[in-house]
């Protein structure tokens, strides 16, 4: 995941120490944008990495930024490339993402996290700051955006996007983890109340507008979606976020289905990887490591009716094309009654 967790007075606090270098158009922060030089390491299970796979696809960066997909489970040591033949990433030539972290000269210590971008010329991770990575995809990689790519971080709306995204991060994205890893009842209940208060706020906000900020999909929507898509499958039960299922919150459920059915969103979701990660890796919460069969994901394909609120998913842009070969995820079509 993005950042390691610690416990402060029995409550969960995320370690937010990230590698300070960035990949920018002019290289001012350490590394210049170059086609083919870097490889994005992700896991389909991780919500923080999921953001990068969505933005990469929406902007059409697949041809210039390759992607390494780690398996859904890992040990305390590292994410591993066990999905690849021989358990070795074919481009980086490593079995563990830890190898790319340890190749750094500074001996980076906070932990092996995804997403991470590796410089293939040195084999070193150059950035793992998940929040900055997607913003840089939108603002620094513009020379390589596909034709008719959407503007996910429009300059006129950035202040509002940042404000909404921060609320979502604190109360929802990280809030579910505060519930799941709370060390005592009081901490859990405080996190639980904070989470559902924010979800109620989002229900109200999205009742009259199709997207979180403005008339199109923005960075804020992507950041909320990756938590919502995991909510019923994982957070409701595994993390004890059980006041309501997503499917019992009518506005958020319709909003999430609207995004899921938009190219670039549902076609990056792998529910089996998501469930395998949380239920098999978090043995402190789920000691048996049994992975539940449900819930039935076919509801994600049902009509949502959000078009009536107006708005255009990609603004003046257009949807992305087909998923790149080798990057497909299991389809839900067979589950559609």
Q: Which of 118, 135, 130, 92 is nearest to 31 (CA)?
A: 118
Q: Determine if residue 79 is labeled as part of a ligand binding site.
A: yes
- Which residue is catalytic, options 18, 46, 179, 211? 46
Q: Where are the alpha helices (DSSP H) in the chain?
A: 47-59, 98-102, 130-139, 158-168, 175-180, 185-206, 219-228, 250-260, 271-281
Known catalytic residue: 46? yes
Helix H or strand E encompassing 314? none
CA dist 36 and 62 (Å) reads 10
Token reading at 295: 């819930």
- Hunting for tokens 């971008």 — which residue is that? 117
- Which residue is catalytic, options 18, 38, 153, 177? 177
Known catalytic residue: 177? yes
CA dist 128 and 117 (Å) reads 6
78-107 core/surface letters (b: 16 or more CB in 10 A; e: else)? bbbbeebeeeebeebebbbbbbbbbbbeee
- Binding-site members for glutathione are 79
**Active-site amino acid positions:** 46, 177
């Amino acid at each position: 995941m993005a950042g390691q967790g610690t416990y402060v007075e029995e409550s969960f606090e995320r370690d937010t120490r990230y590698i300070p270098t960035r990949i920018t158009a002019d290289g001012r922060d350490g590394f210049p944008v170059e086609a083919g030089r870097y490889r994005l390491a992700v896991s389909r299970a991780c919500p923080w990495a999921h953001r990068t796979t969505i933005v990469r696809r929406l902007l059409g960066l697949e041809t210039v930024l390759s992607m390494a997909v780690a398996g859904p489970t890992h040990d305390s040591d590292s994410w591993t490339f066990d999905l690849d033949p021989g358990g070795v990433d074919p481009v980086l030539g490593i079995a563990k993402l830890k190898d790319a972290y340890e190749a750094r000269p500074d001996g980076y210590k906070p932990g092996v996290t995804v997403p991470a971008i590796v410089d293939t010329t040195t084999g070193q991770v150059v950035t793992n700051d998940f929040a900055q990575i997607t913003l840089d995809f939108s603002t620094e990689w513009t020379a390589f955006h596909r034709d008719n790519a959407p503007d996910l971080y429009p300059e006129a709306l950035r202040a509002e996007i940042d404000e909404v995204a921060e609320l979502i991060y604190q109360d929802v994205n990280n809030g579910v983890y505060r519930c799941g890893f709370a060390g005592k009842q009081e901490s859990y209940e405080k996190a639980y109340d904070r989470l559902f208060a924010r979800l109620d706020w989002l229900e109200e906000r999205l009742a009259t507008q199709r997207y979180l900020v403005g008339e199109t999909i923005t960075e804020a929507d992507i950041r909320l979606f990756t938590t919502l898509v995991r909510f019923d499958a994982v957070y409701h039960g595994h993390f004890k976020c059980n006041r309501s299922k997503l499917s019992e919150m009518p506005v958020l459920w319709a909003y999430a289905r609207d995004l899921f059915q938009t190219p670039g969103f549902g076609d990056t979701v792998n529910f089996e990887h998501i469930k395998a990660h949380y239920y098999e890796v978090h043995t402190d919460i789920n000691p048996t490591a049994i992975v539940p069969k449900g819930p039935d994901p076919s509801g994600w394909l049902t009509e949502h009716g959000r078009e009536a609120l107006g708005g255009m998913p990609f603004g003046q842009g257009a949807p992305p094309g087909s998923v790149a070969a080798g990057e497909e995820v299991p389809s839900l079509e067979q589950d559609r009654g």
